[in-house]
Structure 1
Amino acid sequence: MKITGIETFLVQPRWLFLKISTDEGVSGWGEPVVEGRAGTVRAAVHELAELVVGEDPLRIEDHWQVLRRGGFYRGGPVLSSAMAGIDHALWDIAGKVRGVPVHELLGGPVRDRVRVYSWVGGDRPSGIFDAVSAQVAAGFTAVKMNVAGPLAPIASPAEANAALARARAAREALGPDRDLAIDFHGRVAPALARRLVRMLEEVQPMFVEEPILPELPAEVLASVVGASTVPIATGERLYSRWEFKPVLDAGVAVVQPDPSHAGGISELRRIASLAEIYGASLAPHCPLGPIALAAAMQVAFATPNFLIQEQSLGMHYHDGHEPVAYLADSALFRFTDGYAARPTGPGLGIEVDEEAVRRADETGHRWRSPVWRLDDGGLTEW
């Protein structure tokens, strides 16, 4: 079997899909994207395609090594995301060739179902109690929300108290038996992060996500970890096991590699194994499309230290374009009591609606990350 070509598709609202075809008619799907830089990643995919077209698709690890190490400059969000999509598709092909889901190729399932959570509140969180109540009514046992919208480096007491009030509203709606995750989204300066995590202890978050920017030194992250008893999570903007080691050394409780950014299924597995050494859990970041989510779930079913899976159904970015719209069968994403059942279909366990994807690519998209400014006109983190 040989790879005959790689195609890419810009799919609304902000995704990029790829398809790998082979000379035996077996194809695989992947989702390589950096949100807001889909066109850039698309170009990188087609450059990397030169390294795998004409080769055996079942040599997944060898391809991963060549894609990463075959260039003098490596890593970073664009190249790692391009690699990730190719890796998804190769695992999809391998599962289809052998007639088993990918998690069977990763050692078999270690659980029967995967817990998922939903987003509430949007980028500028509001209406939290009602939004959380709706997710509870839908059967979810965990939700995640942003701590706040734009924040000054040292927020006022009113801003800090407003963040706490929103978290209290979420906890009231959830009750004591469900979980709340709180995303700082890298918007919070270290001194304020240390203050806020202490304030949030009373609502007992499952974790606080990306409390500070990922480029800050690991010892600064360690100071946030040590500031409270709240478990700290991070990793959506880290792209390899080498980048995860310093944050694990800093004491984070949860690692959050993204299946579309951190080198794909192959590297997610290695990051999870690294985290296991530190007693840390895996909670893959995935506010993206159906292929990325399917890839993350395959890893989740085969990973002992998996905690919970992010998913984007109903997310505020979608603007009417839901992930299931690009699937011929959405059974994998029908959640019951906040859990996803173990997929039994071959490969990634989904059937992509190729006609819908090709139609979407005719329109494409130009989604960009928002640019936020404070009242004084200065740039702040989104």
Structure 2
Amino acid sequence: MKITGFKLYQVPPRWLFLKIETDEGLVGWGEPVIEGRAATVATAVQELMGSLLGKSPLPIEDHWNVMYRGGFYRGGPILMSAIAGIDQALWDIKGKFFNAPVYELLGGKVRDTMRVYSWIGGDRPHDVGLAAQGMVDKGFTAVKMNATDEMGYLDSHAKIDAAVARIAAVRAVDPYLGIGVDFHGRVHKPMAKMLARELEPFKPMFIEEPVLAENNEALRDIARHTTIPIATGERMFSRWDFKKLLIEGYADIIQPDLSHAGGITECKKIISMAEAFDVAAAPHCPLGPIALAACLQVDATCHNAFIQEQSLGIHYNVGNDLLDYLVDPTVFEYHNGYANIPGGPGLGIEINEEYVRQRALIGHDWKNPIWRNPDGSVAEW
């Protein structure tokens, strides 16, 4: 079996799909994308695929090493996202070749279903209490929300009070609802320490990216001010990025993204590495169905994976939503806050390619907003 070609589809709302074709008719799907840089990642995929054409898709570990180590410059969001989508598609082909779900090729399942959470609110969260109640009514046992609007290095305590009031409204819905509070890297260390302490009474499930990943050393100081579990990792792209974080004990939960951090091959290693440090995993995935399927295949095999992000109904999904591109949209079967692990061959999902082609004619040019502080300086989004 040889790789004969590939196709890229930039589809709404903000996703990039990759199809890899073989001479035996087996195809694999991947989702290589950086939100807001889809076209850039597509170019990187095209460059990397040149070394795979005409080769067997099966030796995935070797292909991964060639894509990563074959370039003198390596790592970072663009290259690792390109590798991630190719890697997902290769695993999809390999599973179909052996007529087995990817999780069987990774050693088999440690769980039958995976707890998931849903987003509430938007970039500037409001009415989160009502939104949380809606998710509870649908059976979800956990939600995630943005904590704040833009925030300066030292800002008004009124913004802290406003964030606390929103979390209080969500906690009022259910005393045991899991609440992930995403600081989104918007909050700098001085304010992050205050906000973390103020959130203590509401017992969040975790606080996420309390500071930017490039400032991870600040997590040590923030941890001294709170007992809330600290999560981070969506903007970290390889096991080498996670190494220092784990060795120095900065985080309680890691959140590698299977479409950003080298795909199934790399994220399985990252999550297993974290297990040795007694650190949990909650993979990042505000993306499409291929990315989610890849996450669930890895989650199924990792003892320390405890909850999975998914994008159904997320505020970014305008025009299309998570399940629109699937032949069988029931494949994940959300039930009582859990999703099934797709058990079909490969990633366990079937992509509606005709619909993908139709939506790719519309495409997208999604970009995240640019925020500014009151003084005109650029704020973290």
Task: State the TM-score, normalized to the length of structure 1.
Answer: 0.98
* Cα offsets for 1:227-267 (capped at 9, x unmatched): 21010000000000110112222430000000100000011
* Cα offsets for 1:320-344 (capped at 9, x unmatched): 3112111111122330001012322
Deviation at 1:274, TM superposition (A): 1.1
Taking the aligned partners of 1:266 and 1:148, their CA distance within structure 2 comes to 34
Question: Which residue identity does 2:268 align to in structure 1?
Answer: R
In the TM superposition, 1:260-339 aligns within 5 A as 260-339=259-338
Deviation at 1:119, TM superposition (A): 0.1
Residue in structure 2 matched with residue 224 of structure 1 by the alignment: 222
- Identity of counterpart residues, as a percentage? 55
Taking the aligned partners of 1:68 and 1:318, their CA distance within structure 2 comes to 31
Question: Which residue identity does 2:58 align to in structure 1?
Answer: L
Taking the aligned partners of 2:142 and 2:3, their CA distance within structure 1 comes to 41
Deviation at 1:176, TM superposition (A): 2.2
Given the alignment of the two structures, is residue 151 of structure 1 paired with residue 154 of structure 2, yes or no? no
Residue aligned with 2:324, SS: helix
Question: Which residue identity does 1:235 align to in structure 2?
Answer: G
Residue in structure 1 matched with residue 58 of structure 2 by the alignment: 58
Deviation at 1:160, TM superposition (A): 0.4
In the TM superposition, 1:1-382 aligns within 5 A as 1-173=1-173, 175-216=174-215, 218-248=216-246, 249-382=248-381
Taking the aligned partners of 2:252 and 2:4, their CA distance within structure 1 comes to 43
Q: Is the 8 A contact 2:293 2:342 kept in 1?
A: no
* Cα offsets for 1:248-307 (capped at 9, x unmatched): 224300000001000000111000011111100110000001000000000001111111
Deviation at 1:195, TM superposition (A): 1.1
Q: Is the 8 A contact 2:185 2:212 kept in 1?
A: yes
Taking the aligned partners of 1:109 and 1:250, their CA distance within structure 2 comes to 28
Residue aligned with 2:192, SS: helix
Identify unmatched segments of 5+ residues in structure 2: none
* Cα offsets for 1:165-212 (capped at 9, x unmatched): 111111111x22221110000000011111111111111111100000
Residue aligned with 2:213, SS: coil
Residue aligned with 1:200, SS: helix
Q: Is the 8 A contact 1:17 1:29 kept in 2?
A: yes
Count residues in correspondence: 380
User: What root-mean-square deviation, in Å, do the aligned CA atoms of Structure 1 and Structure 2 show?
Assistant: 0.9
Residue aligned with 1:222, SS: helix
Taking the aligned partners of 2:104 and 2:220, their CA distance within structure 1 comes to 37
Deviation at 1:374, TM superposition (A): 1.4
Question: Which residue identity does 1:247 align to in structure 2?
Answer: L
4+ aligned runs moved over 2 Å, structure 1 = none
Residue aligned with 1:18, SS: strand
Residue aligned with 2:319, SS: coil
